[in-house]
A and B are shown apart, each in its own frame.
Chain A
């Protein structure tokens, strides 16, 4: 069985600060592995641990060497980095086309990805790949096991959880509830140094200029200031605070 995991390196969501001069986040924001992608990676490793015939490949688009090394140290067999400036500037459609070109050549039984990234956060690449590769997709996965060659998953939806089954090949998108990603062991980190990482460009993937053309364009980032000027009680004893709060709720006819 071949499992491919898609990973992305993103600005650390806890360190993201707006720079109004550039209309972007501050330059030099530290980069980290996208959190949901690590849950996808962990799910793949857990499947691999239960069988002895799994090949596990980590694939990234954009600069992601540290994240790919982490995946190799966690237990991936090899890594593929798609690095191309023309693709980095594209929208999620371009990303999906580039990944699809690679995945057609690689082939897979299971493709795992994080539900969305913490930067752009469109959450569209899984469904887009499903359309391009004609493979079923299940999003918002919070539980996964393999039973006799069938993937049994739970999908978190507004009303609760769908329990569902899908046969390979399939695309699954992971939420954080799926598992607890492991930290790479020292042994894993040492072993990762001997594992191969391939680099591919748009040309390597046979992507045409038209396919690398974004349809959706993104403007600069901006912020909307909070305007609420509420009543904030400080250093007020609990009983008095509760009295004032109840009076406020009564005034607004909320109780």
Chain B
């Protein structure tokens, strides 16, 4: 153990100056683990123009907030983000660094762990400090099965947390923490990947990860044009449209709408699956949904095992009737 190492450091990602939902989820777990270690909960807020996000980190419970605010951090690159997180680790000397299981977190954790000869536990749905070791529970075989991974607790450890696995704490807006800027100087050529553009996925109410209602279409919709059934329902309910991997692989919908192990993890109040069979690849990404509704022709579809309400029937007949009825009910 490095002398003086203590506590937990969270790598906090931002979007448009606010903390990403997946990063907010780290705070509750971080607080628990910091308590068990008897150390502080630190957070490094990463991005460009992140003053408000730094206050948010304090409100979410960080004891100490480091602000890595630089134009070079506006777009994610491994080189720039690794430099910032590395500096934050040096400044706070944590025993464990927690990252969200995002595309960024899944790059950064193994990269920095390897550079620092540290252990790395990825994609944890649970993480605990047990008898002086870190024990993570993670999905394997595309989420069909789980296993426990264990790292010795005597050195620095990195862990990524599966999106939606833990709940974000309620922020306390009055809470103030020690907040310090993290000075970063980038040399020319130090960031070896140049991001020239970002082709934005639609944001706002159609943003899958934040939507309270998500209507997912599966291969059972039959063809790309039938996604209008999902779009129509989503519109009536003010929700977003998602797709299964089978559908994005067929090119019916863009990959950024994909929900599941290799796509997004969602936790809406209401999930409606249209022609979704419920392969584990997909269901691992919807477990956090409060209510699951499934409409599928196949009575043996695994989605019915986890559905709160299921209809075995023809989605092409039922979905339009459902949209019409909902429109009538909501209009009344």
Contacts and interface: CB of A to CB of B under 8 A. Distances in A.
B114 A245 contact: no
Contacts of A166: 192-194
Given A219-B149, A245-B311, A163 B305 contact: no
Interface residues of A, number: 80
B139 interface: yes
B145 A25 contact: yes
Nearest to A225: B305
A18 B145 contact: yes
A142 B254 CA distance: 11
A160 interface: yes
A13 B308 contact: no
A121 B141 contact: yes
A177 B192 CA distance: 24
A233 B312 contact: yes
B307 A121 contact: no
Interface in B125-169: 139-142, 144-152
B196 A163 contact: yes
A232 B305 CA distance: 9
Contacts of A183: none
A119 B193 contact: no
Interface string B192-233: 111111111101000001000100000000000000000000
B304 interface: yes
A216 B119 contact: yes
Contact of A246 (B20, B306, B313, B325): B325
B249 A120 contact: no
6 contacts: A121-B139, A131-B112, A132-B114, A216-B121, A216-B149, A222-B147
Interface of B: 15, 20, 22, 75-79, 102-104, 106-115, 119-123, 139-142, 144-152, 192-201, 203, 209, 213, 237, 248-249, 255-256, 261-262, 264, 269-270, 291-293, 299, 304-314, 317-318, 321-322, 325-326, 329-330
